[in-house]
A and B are shown apart, each in its own frame.
Chain A
């Protein structure tokens, strides 16, 4: 168990809808990262938050947004969903500084039909 919790594990929704993915980082980790993994693809970095503030943006669509709350949990909002948004969405957390890996949640598998 990595200590990172993602909910829900699976999500099936229709095109045009909006969903929210939730992530609780490991206790004490201030950084949260969101990644998208489409079928048989690598991990595409979407966005990073550190202690409530957005710190880095990757290939995140304008239809997607995220935030990190004072209790450090994070939410990724996906709107106007398209079939191509079907993917595994990972949240990871880490401490800043030091020699640590990013700890991953189990992922949320989103299927848009």
Chain B
């Protein structure tokens, strides 16, 4: 039973299209994240939600819109896809926020590879 699951695993689409990636965690964690792994392999945080509330919103084009219907789900919708959006997107979750080191260890999903043609 996968702890953090994302769908789809692979997504190939044309420039200008709109697409969504879904993420679900069954760990009972309060905080969820979207990370992007770019062509240089760095993992960069995009968004973070705690109990459905947006707490981190990095400098990401507003074509990217996260949505958290409940604390177990965090979806990523991307409008007007561009070539530079091609990357692997990782969803992650952690137990909570605050100053407890252990509570902020991330559990990642397997990633969703987006290819924009």
Same complex: no
B residues adjacent to A (C-beta < 8 A): none
